[in-house]
Amino acid sequence: MYSFSYSGQGTFPGPKASLTMDPAGNLYGTTFSDGAYASGSVFKLTPSGEGWTYSSLHDFTGQTDGGGPHGSLLFDSQGNLYGTAEGGGTFDAGVAFEITP
């Protein structure tokens, strides 16, 4: 379906939780330490004729927006995604976050 890359150094950066599917068949998930700042990301996989297309929805900085997400995501009735990250935040004790895809 889709292969995440790994440099072989440090914490495995890829997904650590189940994927969440929207009504259109898109899959959403988190990576633990992937992304532009190596603090995790929220991603979307969209079905295409050739397989799946990856889109990054948010790259965590490890600061006030959080870092190290590894739980499943939930949708609300308006299509917003919610999840948690174990690091970052005001007291570096994690955050609950909302993403509008």
> In the chain, what are the domain boundaries?
20-99
What pLDDT shows up at residue 14? 75
| d(C-alpha 13, C-alpha 53), whole Å | 19
What's the pTM value of the predicted model, to 2 decimals? 0.88
- Residue 42 corresponds to which tokens in the numbers above? 């929220």
Q: Beta strands 41-48 and 51-59: pairing type?
A: antiparallel
What pLDDT shows up at residue 80? 95
What pLDDT shows up at residue 41? 92
Q: What is the pLDDT along the chain (101 residues), one digit of tens a residue?
A: 777 665 555 566 678 889 999 999 999 999 988 888 989 999 999 999 888 999 999 999 999 999 999 889 999 999 999 999 999 999 999 999 999 97
Token pair 């004729």 is found at 49
Q: Distance between the two ends of the chain, CA-based, in angstroms?
A: 21
What pLDDT shows up at residue 45? 94
**Where does residue 26 rank: exposed (0-12), middle (13-18), buried (19+ CB within 10 A)?**
middle
